[in-house]
Structure 1
Amino acid sequence: MSSSTSRGGGSDQPPTRRLMTQTAGNIGETAFDSEIVPSSLVEIAPILRAANEVEEHNPRVAFLCRNYAFEKAHRLDPTSSGRGVRQFKTALLRRLEMENDPTLKGRVKKSDARKMQSFYQHYYKKYIQALENAADKADRAQLTKAYQIANVLFEVLKAVNWTQSMEVDREILDTHNKVAEKTEIYAPYNMLPLDPDSANQAIM
């Protein structure tokens, strides 16, 4: 669903270095994901991944996710002192400037707050419930990914609603409670091999 930066070409430059060496024109068109996020801004990687995932279905929601990621990046490093942060933030800002007007024109709802709430419910019903109700039962990886994206969408939704002084609908809060509960169940985990004589030992 999402586009990604090229992994080919035999380049051995680190992701942030590759971004820094791009031309200004190419930077504006870069697909922002975890591969090019500076290490000091790693917290925004899930937000950018979610933006890439939903962009095909709703460009405005993807824009709002990236805009929230930019604001969070600025809070994490307001002086852009981290390695590659200034270049990254500049590139992301340019993309936001390019996408704001086109995505705004395509917005059906009267406000971004309403748009986020509508899409959040749409995502839950069309993707999460569909996976949960599938006859063959979706695999754990699919559900884990869907819950992670839903959590990001809710985080962005809260920020947009707060900016526009609008309360989050009760229905949205109830849906999020379901998502949060299932997220704990489907949280990624690692399986460690147990010793043959460990049947009676506590699982760590």
Structure 2
Amino acid sequence: MGTEANWERLVRAALRRERLGAGAHGQPVSGIAGNVPSSLANNLHIDEILRAADEILEEDANVSRILCEHAYSLAQNLDPNSEGRGVLQFKTGLMSVIKQKLAKREGGAIDRSQDIARLQEFYKRYREKNKVDELCEDEMKLRESGVFSGNLGELERKTLKRKKVFATLKVLGTVVEDLTREISPDQAERLISEEMKRVMQADAAMSEDVVPYNIIPLDAPSLTNVITSFPEVKAAVSSLKYYRGLPKLPDDFFIPAARKPDMLDLLQYVFGFQKDNVSNQREHIILLLANAQSRLGSISGNDPKLDEGAVHIVFSKCLDNYIKWCGYLPLRPVWNNLESGGKEKKLLYICLYFLIWGEASNIRFLPECLCYIFHHMARELEEILRGQIAEPANSCKSESGVSFLDQVISPLYDVIAAEAANNDNGQAAHSAWRNYDDFNEYFWSLQCFQLGWPWRLGSPFFLKPVRRAKVCTCW
């Protein structure tokens, strides 16, 4: 009730300001940024758009209106029936803001091409006003000079300004990109020049505060995080780069401007791993390699190189269970002669294993099943590496696209979940349902290869149990 009451007060306040024509301090405000309901799955993006709309309202009310309208459209698409908690109140408040505070005419047709043109024009003016090209340079000079040591407030002010400006630019660029999908490709090409696209992409890459990362900012340049300057980290990043001999990625495969293509980009394209999983595992692997290198000894130079020993340490640890699994079955590992492939091939296998693990969900409780999956995906990868152009793996392809999660993990998860739901809350006899150990034990014999690759979903292994009827005991 507390949340609903807050939303009711918000809407009433918005309507009251609508009648008065000003905010509490006499300034036009939207009064709704930061109050996006958590029930909207994309609430963070909507909130960013509304914050940008607040930021630029005094500079250009029309552009602010366009942003608010787009935020409303996103909310409408995410929850068209306003079923989520607080969504109806949020939409009501936002629409009142759009109608009154931003002077949207009732029943007026929305001309997307005109909106895109306005956004682009404002984008250019905003860049010029805030001297975007000088922002990073000034901050870097201040850091390198050491002058800021006696005036940390000046450095903080410059840093905050840069982050705010680039965050606003990123929102403007994202909304332009979204709106172009609502018009024909020919119109979009006429409205947005290639030069403008490059400028927006470069600006977006500079938004380090809106590009999530855990420890190492790899997808955006950082002026504040010194970890990227450590030689071990530099060497680890360099070791994963796209080396000669790897199949070429499609031209439209997106790579952030702040970094170069690497092995994980190839694996993401081939197997359809999720973007955030790839980002997380990229950091994870780089830290593992850097830590292994630091234990072997320090490295130096302008272009530090990772020792073979550091790669072998990480490789041996992460694939130790797979090697033991192959020895037990017995089965020859996917590599014939690993030493002939060098550290690049070892790194590819490391990346593949961690990407599998990152999306395996509860299948992580079936370690030998992960060995089976890795074995077949590594074999698929070997075939793809023989080509000049990267191709999606057959095991992860479907009519709707390429997805490791959907095609490999979900079938396993679904049958395990069905068995767990049929265990009578843990009271059923062990012989009446399959638990994690039962599933995993299946992969301790060569019989598991009857499941094939891609999965033979008609196999008895994937059969879901008939739901057990619950017995009601009445006293």
1:46 aligned onto 2:36: no
From 114, 118, 124, give the equivalent of 1:115: 118
Specify the alignment match of 1:151 in structure 2: 170
* Aligned 1:1-204 pairs, distance under 5 A: 14=3, 17-21=5-9, 22-23=11-12, 25-26=15-16, 28=18, 30-34=30-34, 36-41=35-40, 42-43=43-44, 44-98=46-100, 99-101=102-104, 111-127=114-130, 128-134=132-138, 136=142, 139-165=158-184, 166-167=187-188, 168-184=192-208, 187=211, 201=291
SS of equivalent residue, structure 1 residue 111 = helix
Matching residue's letter, 2:89: Q
Cα 1:74–1:186 change in 2 (3 A) is closer
1:125 Cα offset (Å): 2.9
SS of equivalent residue, structure 2 residue 31 = coil
Structure whose alpha-carbon radius of gyration is higher: 2
SS of equivalent residue, structure 1 residue 40 = coil
C-alpha contact (below 8 Å) 2:65/2:104 kept by paired residues = no
| In 1: Cα distance, 2:214 partner to 2:58 partner | 32
- With 165-174 and 51-60 compared, the bigger mean Cα shift is at 165-174
C-alpha contact (below 8 Å) 1:51/1:62 kept by paired residues = yes
Q: Relative contact order, CA 8 A, sep 6+: which one is greater?
A: 1
Deviations 1:22-72 (A, max 9, x none): 5272375751211x2111232311110111111111111111111000000
C-alpha contact (below 8 Å) 2:57/2:64 kept by paired residues = yes
SS of equivalent residue, structure 1 residue 39 = coil
Count of matched residue positions in the alignment of Structure 1 and Structure 2:
174
Matching residue's letter, 2:38: S
C-alpha contact (below 8 Å) 1:147/1:179 kept by paired residues = yes
Indicate the RMSD between aligned Cα atoms, in angstroms. Answer: 3.1
| In 2: Cα distance, 1:65 partner to 1:186 partner | 18
- Residue ranges of structure 2 left out of the alignment (5+ in a row): 19-28, 106-112, 144-154, 216-289, 295-475
- Residue ranges of structure 1 left out of the alignment (5+ in a row): 1-12, 103-109, 192-199
| In 2: Cα distance, 1:187 partner to 1:140 partner | 16
| In 2: Cα distance, 1:68 partner to 1:187 partner | 21
Q: Percent identity?
A: 28
1:164 Cα offset (Å): 4.8
